[in-house]
A = this chain, B = another copy of it.
Amino acid sequence: MPSRKRAAATGSGRRIPVGVLGATGTVGQRFVQLLERHPWFEVIEVMASDQSAGRSYAEAIGSRWKLATAIPPDVAKLRVRGPGDPLQARILFSALDASVAGDLEQEYARRGHLVSSNARNHRMDPKVPLVIPEVNRDHMKLLDLQPYRNGGGLVTNPNCSTIVIAMALAPIHRSFGIDAAIVTTFQAASGAGYPGVPSLDILGNVVPFISGEEAKIESETQKILGRIGPKGIAHAEFPVSALCHRVPVVDGHQMAISLRLETRATRRRILDAWEGFRPLRKLGLPSAPEAPIEAKVEEDRPQPRLDADRAGGMGVTVGRLRPCNVLEWKFEALGHNTIRGAAGAAILNVEILVRDERI
C-alpha cells in the first residue's frame, strides 16, 4: 500500500473506500453495519443480485434488514450494482452466496480488486489464505502465489464455527500440541441467513444437522492451524470431529470441545495460554479486541446471550475447562457468528493486510 494511503487509513485523514459484495444478505448487512463508523474504511459501493441492482440500497433491502440498528444513511442511498458491474473501490468485502461467489470473486480479483471473502468457495484453495489474524497472520504470504495482477487478490476467513474453534485451540496447540479434538456445536439461527431456518423447525427445538458444516469445520481447522512453508500450507494433522446442531438462539455459536494433547498440560497452564494470547496487541487494529480470548471463571459461562457481544462481537469467550474422562480436557467456547464469525473476521483480515503493508 502506498504510504500516503496508509497514513490516511491509520491516521486521521480520509478513509479508504471499500465495496461490499452480496450486501443485502445477513452477512452483507453486518458488513454495512460494522463499517458505518469504521475509522479506516468507508463503504462507497454495494453489489447485490440482479433483482436489487439499480435500486437504492434501502429500497433493495426493504424489510429484510434484520439488525437492531438502522441502515447507515450514507449506504441507504447508494445505488446497488449488479453482479460483475465495474467497481471503483480496490478493497471489496464479499458476503456473496456460495452459489455465485466462486466465479465472481475471481473475476474481481482479476480486475485488480483485493477481495476479502466470507464465502466458503475458495477457503480450501492451496493458494488462498484462510486467515484469523491472531492465529495465522503469516498465511497471508499465500497472496504472493496468486495469479492476480495490479493488486488483485483473494483472502478468506473461516466458517463461522471454525473461527471460534480455531481461536480457542490455537494457543493450546502452540503450547502443548493437539492430538485430537471433538467439537459439538450449538449454532445460532442467524448463521443460516435470511429467510434461513423456518421457525417451525427451530422454535423450542434442536436440529442436529447443518448441511456441509461438519466437513468445513474438520478441514478448515487443520488448514488454519497449519504451517506455511515455501510450497504452501502444511495442514495440521490432528483429526477434528464435528457434530453440528442448530438451536433456538439468534446470535452466538456455542461449542463443547474435548481435546487430547501431545504433551502434558495443567489447567493453570492452559488458562495461561489463553490469557496470554494477545498477538495483535499494540498494532492498533480497529476491530481487534484487547483480549481476543477471555476465559470465564464462573461455572456456567460462556453463554450466547451474555457473552456473544463481548468486544463488539469480536471476542471469543471460553470457560468450564476441566478434565475429560475419554480424551484429556474439555471446555466451552463461544463467539458471535456474524461478527467474529463472518463480517468482522473479513474486516479484520483487511486491517492486518493494511498494517502489514500488503495492500
Contact = CB atoms under 8 A, between A and B. Distances in A.
Given A320-B208, A326-B241, A189 B200 contact: yes
Interface string A91-110: 00000000000000000000
A258 B326 CA distance: 10
A330 interface: yes
Given A68-B305, A182-B327, A300 B204 contact: no
Given A182-B182, A198-B198, A241-B326, A249 B304 contact: no
A206 B304 contact: yes
Nearest to A244: B256
Contacts of A202: 199, 203
Contacts of A330: 241, 243
A60 to B, nearest CB: 15
Name the residue among A189, A195, A197, A325 with the largest chain B CB count within 10 angstroms. A325
B203 A203 contact: yes
A332 interface: yes
B186 A247 contact: yes
A283 interface: no
A250 B184 contact: no
Given A301-B208, A305-B250, A239 B325 contact: yes
A180 interface: yes
Given A198-B197, A330-B241, A186 B186 contact: yes
A162 B256 CA distance: 18
Contact of A198 (B186, B195, B206): B195
A172 to B, nearest CB: 16
Contact of A180 (B204, B308, B326): B326
Contacts of A88: none
Contacts of A50: none
A203 B63 contact: no
Contact of A196 (B199, B256, B302, B304): B199
A199 B206 CA distance: 13
Contact of A208 (B190, B240, B243, B256): B256
A197 B196 CA distance: 10
A213 interface: no
Given A195-B195, A207-B300, A303-B207, A309 B68 contact: yes
A184 B184 contact: yes
10 contacts: A66-B200, A68-B305, A68-B307, A184-B243, A194-B200, A195-B195, A196-B199, A198-B198, A199-B199, A239-B326
Q: Which 3 A-B pairs have the closest CB atoms?
A: A195-B198, A184-B184, A209-B300
Given A205-B303, A248-B249, 18 more contacts: A66-B306, A68-B306, A180-B326, A182-B327, A184-B256, A186-B247, A195-B198, A199-B203, A204-B248, A206-B247, A206-B304, A208-B256, A208-B301, A218-B325, A241-B326, A243-B258, A247-B247, A247-B248
